[in-house]
Amino acid sequence: MSADPTPRRTPLYEAHVQAGAKLVDFAGWEMPVQYKGLIDEHRAVRTSAGLFDCSHMGEFSISGPGALAFVQSFTPNDVAKLAHGRIHYSALLTAEGTFIDDLLVYRMGDEEFWLVVNASNIASDFAWIASLPRPATVILRNVSDDYALLALQGPRSVEILQPLTATPLAPIKYYGFAHGEVAGMKALISRTGYTGEDGFELFVAPQDAMALWGALFAAGEAAGLVPAGLGARDTLRLEAGMALYGHEIDRATTPWDARLDWTVKLEKGDFMGRAALVAARARGESRHLVGFEVESRGIARQGCAIMQAGQQIGVVTSGTWSPTFEKALGMAYVPVGMAAVGTPIEIDVRGKLLSARVTALPFYKRSR
């Protein structure tokens, strides 16, 4: 018997319908790709604020004596150095040192952690972690259905959110979190996001999601808060040089390839994939992830070939027209020898060669 192909709906589905969203199937969820328009939503996040439904993301709880050592054993970043109330970016790696997924690790306590994982990988990530040996004292739970996730992103986020909570937001630094209430609803308030802007991700009970959505828009109306969909989320993260699973990172990609060296702490001791990463580093990388700017007319999308002298030497992982810079930008893998900023490249877009140039990442970095 085949699995039910009907996409799931988040607790905010009715809010999206009421707002006139264009809904698409994304990772098995019926999600808003845009409301009034991707470009307007993108620019609102860069200049004021946007509100995203990210309730399709996954959350795992790992707790109990031995939880710290367990998380250390299968993630490359150093969890022991993560303070209470802090978050870091990390990954799940295969024994070959390639990406199963990227994720955020939240330190809730001495022996209590949260992992926030990509929607498309919830089931496979959980099954993989559950297959690893761990002490009987370590409790692993998939709590994804226990939370809705709203992401308030943009330079006016603090101005919008602070009147709704007694929790002081200023002490919550980037990649930090606090427990509190927002508009009278219990929430985990996380100063994180996937846009390159300041902002907060708010984890609440599913039954509180609609009320919180409404309260945020009431508080943010004067500041120009708009609902924003997956389309703007993608263009924003691309400008910010943030990797997307299935594009910049996958099971054929190592952190060295993706220039995510800073997430790997070889000195912390053994972890899944460490030996393979050490060996790969000794051999030297053959390719690197770079940014590029298209200099001729056209947009290079994922899968387009990077060409040199009639031969494919690389591939585009993400590409779009940038609403901020008003030009076509993207990310690609190229040979290490062609990864220097300023290197000219050619990209095959449906048989037409576009001129482009390697640029530094990220394309966009907000002023602090």
**pLDDT score at 308:** 87
Cβ atoms 274, 266 nearer than 8 A? yes
282: which 2 tokens? 């000794």
Over residues 191-216, mean pLDDT: 98
Name the one residue in this structure whose structure tokens are 């992103």. 153
- Cα 199 versus chain centre, distance: 14
At residue 3, the pLDDT reads 53
- 3-state SS assignment for residue 260: coil
Report the pLDDT value the prediction gives residue 4, as an integer from 0 to 100: 58
354, 347 Cβ separation under 8 angstroms: yes
CB atoms within 10 A of CB 9: 16
pLDDT of residue 367: 83
pLDDT at 2: 45
Fold of 13-52+147-239: Gyrase A; domain 2 (3.30.1360)
- Interior angle at CA 224, CA 219 and CA 228, nearest 5: 95
Residue 356 clears pLDDT 70, i.e. is over it: yes
Q: Domain coordinates of the chain in residue numbers?
A: 13-52+147-239, 58-144, 286-359
- The structure tokens 């060295």 sit at 256
Evaluate if residue 207 carries a pLDDT over 60.
yes
Q: Does domain 58-144 have CATH number 1.20.1050.10?
A: no
Angle (nearest 5°) at CA 78 between 90 and 191: 55
User: pLDDT by residue (tens digit) across 260-281?
Assistant: 999 999 999 999 999 999 999 9
Helices 230-239 and 38-47 cross at an angle (nearest 10°) of 50
Query: What share of the chain in percent tops pLDDT 90?
Result: 97
Contacts of residue 260, Cβ cutoff 8 Å, sequence gap at least 6: 91, 243, 249
Q: What is the pLDDT of residue 162?
A: 98
Q: Which amino acid is at 321?
A: W
78 vs 283: CA distance, rounded Å: 24
**Given a cut of 90, is residue 1 above it in pLDDT?**
no
Region 70-79 average pLDDT: 98
- How far is it, in rounded angstroms, from Cα 104 to Cα 84? 14
CATH architecture of residue range(s) 286-359: Beta Barrel (2.40)
Segment 225-240 shows an average pLDDT of 98
Average per-residue pLDDT for the chain? 97
Strands across the sheet containing 185-190 = 177-182, 185-190, 199-204, 148-153, 50-53, 226-227
Instruction: Tell me if the pTM is above 0.95.
Output: yes
What pLDDT shows up at residue 321? 98
Burial class (CB in 10 A: 0-12, 13-18, 19+), 343: middle
